[in-house]
Chains A and B, each alone.
Chain A
Amino acid sequence: MIMQQKILLVDDREDNLLSVQSILEPGGYQFVKARSGREALKVLLSQIDFALILMDVNMPNLSGFQTASLIYEREKLRNIPIIFITAHGEDERNIFKGYRAGAVDYIAKPVNPQLLRAKVAVFADLYSKNQQLLTQEQRLKAANANLENEIKERMLSEKRVNELNRQLIENINSLESANKELDRFAFMASHDLQEPLRKIRTFCDLLINRCLDQVDDEGKLYISRIENSAARMQRLIKDILTFSKVSDDNDEFAETDLNKIIQDILTEYKHEIEEKKAVIEVKKIPSLLTKQGLMYPLFSNLISNALKYSKNQEPVQINIWSEICVTEKKSETPDLNNKYCRISIRDNGIGFEQKYAEQVFEMFKRLHAKKEYDGSGIGLTLCKKIVEQHNGFIAVRSEVGAGSTFMVTLPVKQSVKSNNISNGKQVREFAP
């Protein structure tokens, strides 16, 4: 929709006003009329959105030129063009030049309607173009303001992200220190718990060795129950102690012969292996960089589990083998550590439902009653912790009645800053 353009007509004579209005009427303008310079100034106090002012020069009191001078004194009105209607032609034109030069034009009396229409149309067109430019400028200014706001917001959100990042790092640090604290507590607690426990066991022993003839059968049963519980508790404490030591362990990575470690473990379990008539097949495992001290508890737990969770009827068959695999890393940085060695330990034991595959690595998670299969519920948690200390991972595939296969995947090489890997990764992912 095109806005109706406003024109201010100033003339002391009503008939002149009417004739100009009738000439311009077809242009579709809106007219505001003033009968004197003073009245024109009054109108302009409240309305300033005129495309043009048509002003008679010859007016009593304030002449057209004087009125124009007063109009142009006001900053806001300076852009409104004025067409003077003169009676004396060229002579008068030069008078106003003394006042001001600008968007000013002249038309002589008697007014030629066609010329008047043409002149007014030019100014009206100029005005509408001006208005368009103004709206465009406003739009641009608004867009600019939006953009500035957006930038501000973006800076704010970046700040927020940075703050979150900082908090995250702080949280990681406090978690780590809490973890260390906990490990220290576990170490101290289990250390202190061992002493009274040792006494319970020793006194039990003395009771059995020295006083058993004074105890009836029921009493003997109680004593053996005490002994069993104390022995179990001792195993538990020992496992917690080992567990708490794992993170404490500042062992350096060293070239490790896992074949020898596994042979040592098999020697330790010689008695159980013979008892269960177990056949254990071990294929050669390549040498890896590991924290050597942690490899024995890792494989000892896995092998003893394979022996323990066996079926009664069948001879136990355990296979241990390894394969080298390469994993596709998501990171763009070239990483030489994507070569992994996967060591599998497969048994033909009772197995479990695959849905427990994650849970078995949780602390104190046990799938079987103590009466059936004894254990502290720490062994596999310890395994997981050890493997993670090597930047590796552990998983299990299992089926009820068919047995389990535990897979330990360790990097063939270790990056220098192995301890900081997990931290760095998280920080990078949250960077803006």
Chain B
Amino acid sequence: MQDNPDKAKTLIVVEDDADDQYFLQTAFKEIGFNEHVLYLDSAKQLFEYLESSGSVSGYPYAILVDYNMPAMNGEETLIKIKENKDYSDIQILIYSTTISDLQIKVLKDLGAEGCYIKSYSASEIVSFAKFLQQKIAKAVFR
């Protein structure tokens, strides 16, 4: 990752819940990937970032969006991102405490790269962080 200084951040996490942010942060720190992750609290912040700093320093490779958020939820965020051609290369990943098969199908149809259920154990969160790291690494070194 270090040989890619253009990209300010390779992954953006949009999560309104401080605890869930903390869990991911802990996991990314553990695998040494945290410096590549930007944490935002809402979809509003995400679009502000993408419009201003994002267009200067480049877009992230992936955005992990929490499904259940106030104001604009994961699905609405996904739709709004997909409306803008500038963001068409960004992979959108949705995650949630519970998510039904039907919801997953809808989200994938809307263009989500993947849908994930929030884990109950710290070690599984670390595995999830590693999985995200590899997914991004593949995209970066493609």
Contact in complex: B120, A206 (CB < 8 Å): no
Q: Which of B26, B97, B119, B125 contacts A195 (CB 8 A)?
A: B97
B23 surroundings in chain A (CB, below 8 A)? 202, 206
Q: Which 9 pairs of residues, A with B, have the shortest CB-CB distance?
A: A205-B122, A201-B120, A206-B122, A205-B121, A195-B97, A199-B19, A194-B97, A198-B120, A209-B122
Q: Is B118 an interface residue (CB 8 A)?
A: yes
Q: Is A154 an interface residue (CB 8 A)?
A: no
Q: Is A234 an interface residue (CB 8 A)?
A: yes
**Which chain B residues numbered 68 to 120 have a C-beta less than 8 Å away from chain A?**
68, 97-98, 118-120
**Which chain A residues numbered 191 to 240 have a C-beta less than 8 Å away from chain B?**
191, 194-195, 198-199, 201-203, 205-206, 209, 234
**What total count of A-B pairs have CB within 8 Å?**
34
- Could you say which interface size class chain B belongs to? 10 to 19
A202 surroundings in chain B (CB, below 8 A)? 19, 23, 119-122, 125
B120 surroundings in chain A (CB, below 8 A)? 198, 201-202, 205, 234
Chain A's nearest CB lies how many Å from the CB of B30?
9
Q: Is B52 an interface residue (CB 8 A)?
A: no
Contact in complex: B97, A209 (CB < 8 Å): no
Known: A199-B19, A201-B120, A202-B119. 5 other contacts (CB 8 A): A198-B119, A198-B120, A202-B19, A202-B120, A206-B23
Residues of B within 8 A of A (CB): 17, 19-20, 23, 26, 68, 97-98, 118-123, 125
B121 surroundings in chain A (CB, below 8 A)? 201-202, 205
Residues of A within 8 A of B (CB): 191, 194-195, 198-199, 201-203, 205-206, 209, 234, 241
A203 surroundings in chain B (CB, below 8 A)? 19
Q: How far does the alpha carbon of A202 sit from the alpha carbon of B97 in the complex, in Å?
A: 13
Q: How far does the alpha carbon of A209 sit from the alpha carbon of B97 in the complex, in Å?
A: 22
Q: How far does the alpha carbon of A194 sit from the alpha carbon of B23 in the complex, in Å?
A: 16
A199 surroundings in chain B (CB, below 8 A)? 19-20
Closest to A293 in B: B101
Contact in complex: A191, B26 (CB < 8 Å): no
Chain A's nearest CB lies how many Å from the CB of B138?
27
Could you name 5 residue pairs across A and B whose Cβ atoms are closer than 8 Å? A198-B120, A201-B121, A205-B121, A206-B23, A209-B123
B125 surroundings in chain A (CB, below 8 A)? 202
Contact in complex: A194, B98 (CB < 8 Å): yes
A195 surroundings in chain B (CB, below 8 A)? 17, 68, 97
Q: How far does the alpha carbon of A362 sit from the alpha carbon of B122 in the complex, in Å?
A: 36
The residue in B20, B97, B118 that gathers the most chain A C-beta atoms within 10 A of its C-beta is B97
Q: How far does the alpha carbon of A202 sit from the alpha carbon of B121 in the complex, in Å?
A: 5
Chain B's nearest CB lies how many Å from the CB of A221?
20
Q: How far does the alpha carbon of A195 sit from the alpha carbon of B67 in the complex, in Å?
A: 12
A201 surroundings in chain B (CB, below 8 A)? 120-121
B17 surroundings in chain A (CB, below 8 A)? 195
B97 surroundings in chain A (CB, below 8 A)? 191, 194-195, 198
Closest to B68 in A: A195
A206 surroundings in chain B (CB, below 8 A)? 23, 26, 122
A191 surroundings in chain B (CB, below 8 A)? 97-98
Q: How far does the alpha carbon of A199 sit from the alpha carbon of B19 in the complex, in Å?
A: 7
A198 surroundings in chain B (CB, below 8 A)? 97, 118-120
A209 surroundings in chain B (CB, below 8 A)? 122-123
Q: How far does the alpha carbon of A194 sit from the alpha carbon of B120 in the complex, in Å?
A: 10
B98 surroundings in chain A (CB, below 8 A)? 191, 194, 241
Q: How far does the alpha carbon of A195 sit from the alpha carbon of B16 in the complex, in Å?
A: 13
Chain B's nearest CB lies how many Å from the CB of A82?
102
Chain A's nearest CB lies how many Å from the CB of B56?
36
Chain B's nearest CB lies how many Å from the CB of A296?
14
Chain B's nearest CB lies how many Å from the CB of A34?
106
B68 surroundings in chain A (CB, below 8 A)? 195
Contact in complex: B19, A205 (CB < 8 Å): no
Chain B's nearest CB lies how many Å from the CB of A415?
27
Q: How far does the alpha carbon of A241 sit from the alpha carbon of B26 in the complex, in Å?
A: 30
A241 surroundings in chain B (CB, below 8 A)? 98
Chain B's nearest CB lies how many Å from the CB of A1?
91
B122 surroundings in chain A (CB, below 8 A)? 202, 205-206, 209
Q: How far does the alpha carbon of A83 sit from the alpha carbon of B50 in the complex, in Å?
A: 128
Q: How far does the alpha carbon of A195 sit from the alpha carbon of B19 in the complex, in Å?
A: 10
Q: How far does the alpha carbon of A198 sit from the alpha carbon of B17 in the complex, in Å?
A: 13
Q: How far does the alpha carbon of A203 sit from the alpha carbon of B17 in the complex, in Å?
A: 14
Contact in complex: B123, A205 (CB < 8 Å): yes
Chain B's nearest CB lies how many Å from the CB of A190?
9
Chain B's nearest CB lies how many Å from the CB of A363?
22
Chain B's nearest CB lies how many Å from the CB of A416?
25
Q: How far does the alpha carbon of A241 sit from the alpha carbon of B123 in the complex, in Å?
A: 25
Closest to A208 in B: B122
